[in-house]
Amino acid sequence: MDRADVDLRNPAPGARPTPGASVFADPDQVLWRQFAEAATPEVFYRAWLALQCRMITGVTGGVVVLGPPDTGPYTPAAFWPEGGRNLRHLAEVAEKTLVERRGLVMPRAGRADDPSARARYDVAYPIQVSGRLLGVVALDIAPRQEVDLQWALRQLQWGAAWLETLTLRGELTQTTIVRDRLQQVLDLVGAAFGHDRFYAAASAFVTAVATRLNCDRVSFGVVVRGRTRVQAISHSARFGEQTNVIRAVAEAMDEAIDQHATIVHPPPAGSRPVVTRAAAELARQHGAGAICTVPLAEGGRVFGALTFERPADQAFDTVAVDVCEALGGLAGPILERSRRDDRWIGAKLLDAGRHGVERLTGPGHVGLKLGAVAAVVVALVLAFARGDFRVAANASLEPIARQAAVAPFNGYIAQAPVRAGDVVQREQLLATLDDREMRLERMKWSSQYEQLARQYQQALALRNAAQAMILSAQMDQARAEVALLDSQLARTRIAAPFDAIVVTGDLSQSLAAPVERGQVLFELAPLNAYRVVLQVDERDVTFVQVGQRGTLVLTGAPADGLPLLVDKITPVSAQKDGRNYFRVEAKLERGLERLRPGMEGVGKVEIDRRRLVWIWTRQVIDWIRLQLWTWLP
Q: Which tens digits make up the pLDDT trace of 446-456?
A: 888 888 888 88
- At residue 307, the pLDDT reads 92
Note whether 315 and 203 are same-domain residues. yes
Note whether 142 and 261 are same-domain residues. no
Strand 132-141 to 120-129 pairing: antiparallel
573 bridge partner residues: 582
Contact between 133 and 98 (Cβ < 8 Å): yes
Q: Quick one: residue 557, left, alpha or beta (phi over 0 = left, psi -120 to 50 = alpha)? A: beta
Contact between 87 and 79 (Cβ < 8 Å): yes
- At residue 68, the pLDDT reads 83
- At residue 385, the pLDDT reads 85
Going through 313-472 in order, the beta strands assigned E by DSSP cover 386-399, 403-406, 411-415, 423-424, 429-433
Looking at residues 422-444, what average pLDDT do you find? Answer: 82
- Supply the CATH number for residue 582's domain: 2.40.30.170
Contact between 276 and 288 (Cβ < 8 Å): no
- At residue 606, the pLDDT reads 92
Q: H-helix or E-strand containing 533?
A: strand 530-537
- At residue 12, the pLDDT reads 41
**Burial class of residue 515, CB neighbours in 10 A (0-12, 13-18, 19+):** buried
Instruction: Report yes or no on 542 lying in a domain.
Output: yes
Which of 21-25, 107-111, 294-298, 415-419 shows the lowest per-residue confidence on average (mean pLDDT)?
21-25
DSSP string, 42-86: HHHHHHHHHHHHHHSTTEEEEEEEE-STTT--BEEEEEESTT-S-
Looking at residues 577-596, what average pLDDT do you find? Answer: 83
Determine if the peptide bond prior to 571 is cis (ω within 30°): no
Kindly tell me if the per-residue pLDDT of 174 is higher than 80. Answer: no
Distance between CA atoms of 478 and 454, rounded to whole angstroms? 14
Looking at residues 317-322, what average pLDDT do you find? Answer: 82
- At residue 379, the pLDDT reads 83
Report how far apart the first and last C-alpha atoms of the chain are (Å, whole number): 91
Distance between CA atoms of 446 and 432, rounded to whole angstroms? 24
- At residue 487, the pLDDT reads 82
What is the 8-class DSSP label of residue 152? H
Note whether 170 and 197 are same-domain residues. no
What is the 8-class DSSP label of residue 13? G
- pLDDT > 70: percent of the chain: 86
Looking at residues 472-488, what average pLDDT do you find? Answer: 86
Instruction: Report yes or no on 454 lying in a domain.
Output: no
- At residue 292, the pLDDT reads 92
Note whether 217 and 255 are same-domain residues. yes
Distance between CA atoms of 517 and 125, rounded to whole angstroms? 122
Domain's final residue, options 342, 374, 399 = 342
Note whether 133 and 236 are same-domain residues. no
Instruction: Report yes or no on 41 lying in a domain.
Output: yes
Kindly tell me if the per-residue pLDDT of 401 is higher than 80. Answer: no
Kindly tell me if the per-residue pLDDT of 413 is higher than 60. Answer: yes
Domain's final residue, options 323, 342, 361 = 342
Q: Torsion angle, CA of 97/102/107/111, rounded to 10 degrees? A: 10
Instruction: Report yes or no on 74 lying in a domain.
Output: yes
Note whether 200 and 307 are same-domain residues. yes
Q: How many residues belong to the chain?
A: 633
More confident call, 17 vs 435: 435
Which of 121-135, 553-567, 613-627 shows the lowest per-residue confidence on average (mean pLDDT)?
121-135
Would the pTM of this model clear 0.85, i.e. be above it? no
Instruction: Report yes or no on 126 lying in a domain.
Output: yes
Note whether 151 and 209 are same-domain residues. no
- At residue 179, the pLDDT reads 58
Looking at residues 165-187, what average pLDDT do you find? Answer: 61
Note whether 255 and 225 are same-domain residues. yes
Q: Which residues of 560-594 are buried (b: 16+ CB within 10 A; e: fewer)?
A: ebbebebeebeeeeeeeeeeebbbbbbebeeeeee
Note whether 102 and 130 are same-domain residues. yes
Distance between CA atoms of 526 and 529, rounded to whole angstroms? 6
- Supply the CATH number for residue 264's domain: 3.30.450.40
Kindly tell me if the per-residue pLDDT of 602 is higher than 90. Answer: yes
Provide the number of structural domains found in the chain: 3
- At residue 13, the pLDDT reads 39
Looking at residues 481-507, what average pLDDT do you find? Answer: 80
Confidence of residue 601 (pLDDT cuts 50, 70, 90): very high
Which of 172-181, 315-324, 413-422 shows the lowest per-residue confidence on average (mean pLDDT)?
172-181
Instruction: Report yes or no on 182 lying in a domain.
Output: no
Confidence of residue 11 (pLDDT cuts 50, 70, 90): very low
Domain's final residue, options 309, 342, 375 = 342
Looking at residues 478-484, what average pLDDT do you find? Answer: 87
More confident call, 37 vs 629: 629
Instruction: Report yes or no on 393 lying in a domain.
Output: no
Q: Which domain holds residue 71?
A: 3-174
Kindly tell me if the per-residue pLDDT of 192 is higher than 80. Answer: no
Confidence of residue 4 (pLDDT cuts 50, 70, 90): very low
Kindly tell me if the per-residue pLDDT of 70 is higher than 90. Answer: no
More confident call, 555 vs 77: 555
In sequence order, what are the residues at sequence separation of 6 or more whose Cβ sits closer than 8 angstroms to the Cβ of residue 285? 244, 248
Note whether 133 and 37 are same-domain residues. yes
More confident call, 43 vs 630: 630
Note whether 19 and 83 are same-domain residues. yes
Distance between CA atoms of 248 and 230, rounded to whole angstroms? 10
Note whether 233 and 275 are same-domain residues. yes
For 15, 48, 431, 519, the CA distances from 419, given in Å and listed in that order, are 115, 114, 10, 16
pLDDT in tens, 521-533: 888 877 777 788 9
Instruction: Report yes or no on 448 lying in a domain.
Output: no
